[in-house]
Structure 1
Amino acid sequence: MAILCVLLLTLALFPYGLQGCERWTPEVEKVEQLMAKSLDDDPDPSVFVSLRLLNYTLEQKFVTILKKNVINNALDLTSGQLSLYVLALIASCENTMNVKLDNSGTDRGTNLGELLSKKLAQEIKSIEMYEYPVTNYYQVGLSFLALCKQSYPINKRDIKTFAQVVMRNRISYGPAFSVDTAAIAALAFRCMQQDYKPADIIRNAAIKLVMQILCAKGTRGIIGNTYSTGVAMQALIANQQLVPFQVWNCSNTLQEVLAEISAGSFMNPVMASQALPPTQGKTYLDVNSLSCNWAVGHLFTKVKTSPGAFISCIGGIVGSKKEQFLNATVPLPVGVAEYDSSNGETIIARLTKYSSKKSAINRELNYH
């Protein structure tokens, strides 16, 4: 309690803001590639969300598989599992209120918002009756977050019930404080601060969670443990208006996470999925602010170097750093790594190979 009081006093007296919360390393890229490769078997929505947040180029087929999986299994998924599918599809610019495999038809698709809302209602009913949800508070937090990110109506009473759980320190199972659960809840309350009521209850719950997360920080910067630090970073980045930089030095925590990545602690793609986005300053709250021109029919392989990124492979064709990228017939004004495409544009990769007779052989690959 004394520590919380000191932190609350610090919140009132010191300026806010985070510094040094973004750094790319070759080790991060290796884990990105490991995560991308794992999608080939059966795409995990949490891994997919992470790669989208990292702006990693992916194939459209993964979205089709995710939609097929959630349509076929939505009723059997837990609230948390369904929430991750919702976040993945939001990150893909899909309409989560009308998910269907064939977008050309007029039939209504599956409304994931409605289904998730019903599952959350069951969680809240269980909390009110037994003081514990059907699943756990981590999944409850994910449900609030996913509903909020798709702007689905959330019952004020449900928000109050969840906030009361936070204020009464019942969000963790058992005596040990769960950093992961608190972080997801903090992300949810931060999201709900924008458009949901009651605003004062939401803000108070967010402040309490941020303070508890900061109290779980070790001297080296790890928050909770190695594997909870990533999502804790997301929560603090998202709630940075509540985090004085004198209390939390983001760069120290980032350095520790990058060291753990280099040491091979995140070779499990699912475990890595929460840790990598904050190394690039991203959180789950960014899922609906990503570019919708992200998928390709032929997979780009992007390599980052000190001068900048370049495309090393397109559809299995190894690049030579001499490819020309065009918007229709006009060359891109900047490098392909820096170009931000707009909806409806057709990007052409012109691959030129010269024969021994110095005659050019051109091959063009189109991307929409």
Structure 2
Amino acid sequence: MSRLCSLLLLLICWLTSCHPAVGDSTPKSQRETVTSLLRTLLRSVKVGDFNPNPNVHIALRLARDHNLETEELLLMQLKEASVRKVLNSENFSSGLVALYTLAVKASCNDPINVTANGTTIDLIGILQEKLTQEIKHIEATGFPLSNYYQVSLDMLALCVMNSHVSPCSVRILTRAVDEEQFTHGSEFSVDTGSVAALALRCVKQAGTIQNTVNIEDALRKVLTQILEHVKDDGLIGNLYSTGEAMQVDNLTLPETSTTLAPVTSAVPIRVEYNIEDGVNHTFSDAVNVTVPRGSRLIQVLEETQRLYPVRFSFDVTMTLWGPSLTIVRGLSSSNQDRTYWQLLNGSRPLDQGIGDYRPQNGEHIFARLTHY
């Protein structure tokens, strides 16, 4: 699933005065594409889904056209999943709580009273506690329990719902801007900076923080960093971060054709796939594989594993945005050690995940265990 979470940020202009439906300002030339995406989102909602996607619900609520039956089913699943995660102490990171909170609010329901299977939970209270834990972890270790994207999203969600955002958390976020903590690998993270800017601007406009000088300085700095990543083709950072960044700078993309070039899937391509332990330096290996043109990166990994089951074994974790590479040759990424499997085309980090990226003939793809 592509990074639909950028859509949720559009809620800030109408969320506090909830509307049953949202208007549509999509240019006529792009409506066919939007309608196709909407159908894809609707088909992704399945009866009995154990882990529903709050981003999908938010996107459906933002659409011009609505399938109320499907939206009601997804809302029920989100309520049931949130209650289950709390009762069973399942993984429920702060950013995910923020997404669930916004999704419930998007249907004009009260996130303070979320009821499912006879149990009621307070998502706002849980989110405030999660953010407090993030701030305490930053103060103790210098980095969040999750990451600054989620911390920023937590603050933004609380702010747009007129809930308390502590001066301490604002100070932590402005300090992170000042110390240039919004990085992914060695690169500035446009999506993190964009959400942080939206959160800081919301807090500033709310008027609950007396000294706004640091907020204004942080906003100027992060906006400058975002603008430095505007590319000639109109993208800001990459495909996924552009939607979020546009909402900070009020930018619009040039209108482009939505006609897709034909793909000849029968034609094979050759891809070099490399794996490296860039942290412990225990292995470095490479192999050339042949796959049909148009194959996604995960299909390249599957082919290498088929040919070499041990050397190129891998595993993925399903996330809200699709499969994420987490284990290569038995070596797992670790939040505790702050490591992840970075994907690159040569020396250039990929702007899509293994479920979306389509390598071209002759590319050199790297999976490298890296610190963040």
Q: Normalization by structure 2: what TM-score? A: 0.56
Separation of aligned partners in 2, 1:147 and 1:261: 40
The yes-or-no answer on 1:111 pairing with 2:126 is no
Give the counterpart of 1:94 among 95, 109, 132.
Answer: 109
Structure-2 change in CA distance of 1:149 and 1:227 (3 Å)? same
Separation of aligned partners in 2, 1:95 and 1:31: 28
Give the counterpart of 1:204 among 191, 205, 217.
Answer: 217
* Match of residue 68 from structure 1: 80
Structure-2 change in CA distance of 1:262 and 1:48 (3 Å)? farther
Separation of aligned partners in 1, 2:253 and 2:100: 31
* 8 A Cα contact 1:227 1:271, kept in partner: no
* Match of residue 279 from structure 1: none
CA drift at 1:39: 1.8
* 8 A Cα contact 1:179 1:228, kept in partner: yes
Equivalent position SS for 1:158 = helix
Structure-2 change in CA distance of 1:205 and 1:38 (3 Å)? same
Q: 4+ residue runs of structure 1 moved beyond 3 angstroms?
A: 258-265, 267-272
The yes-or-no answer on 1:30 pairing with 2:36 is yes
Equivalent position SS for 1:109 = strand
CA drift at 1:95: 0.8
* 8 A Cα contact 2:173 2:196, kept in partner: no
Pairing 1:71-86 to 2, within 5 Å after superposition: 71-74=83-86, 75=89, 76-86=91-101
CA drift at 1:231: 2.0
Separation of aligned partners in 2, 1:223 and 1:187: 16
Structure 2 unaligned regions, length at least 5: 1-24, 264-293, 297-317, 323-372
* Match of residue 215 from structure 1: 228
* Match of residue 53 from structure 2: 44
Instruction: Supply the AA of the counterpart residue of 1:216.
Output: H
Separation of aligned partners in 1, 2:228 and 2:258: 22
Instruction: Supply the AA of the counterpart residue of 1:165.
Output: A
Instruction: Supply the AA of the counterpart residue of 2:58.
Output: V
* Match of residue 151 from structure 1: 162
Instruction: Supply the AA of the counterpart residue of 1:177.
Output: F
Instruction: Supply the AA of the counterpart residue of 1:66.
Output: L
Separation of aligned partners in 1, 2:258 and 2:114: 40
* Match of residue 226 from structure 1: 239
* Match of residue 141 from structure 1: 152
Structure-2 change in CA distance of 1:203 and 1:97 (3 Å)? farther
Separation of aligned partners in 2, 1:262 and 1:203: 45
Equivalent position SS for 1:135 = coil
Separation of aligned partners in 2, 1:88 and 1:228: 20
* Match of residue 171 from structure 2: 160
* 8 A Cα contact 1:182 1:213, kept in partner: yes
Which has the larger Rg?
Answer: 1
CA drift at 1:224: 0.9
Structure-2 change in CA distance of 1:156 and 1:66 (3 Å)? same
Pairing 1:1-368 to 2, within 5 Å after superposition: 22-23=26-27, 24-40=30-46, 42=49, 43-57=52-66, 58-59=68-69, 60-74=72-86, 75=89, 76-101=91-116, 109-195=120-206, 196-197=208-209, 198-237=211-250, 250-252=252-254, 255=255, 259=258
Structure 1 unaligned regions, length at least 5: 1-20, 238-247, 273-368
Q: How large is the RMSD of aligned CA atoms in angstroms?
A: 3.1
Measured against aligned partners, the alpha-carbon deviations of 1:286-309 in whole angstroms (never above 9, x if no partner) come to xxxxxxxxxxxxxxxxxxxxxxxx
Structure-2 change in CA distance of 1:160 and 1:56 (3 Å)? farther
Separation of aligned partners in 2, 1:126 and 1:261: 46
CA drift at 1:226: 1.6
State the identity %. Answer: 33
* 8 A Cα contact 1:165 1:171, kept in partner: yes
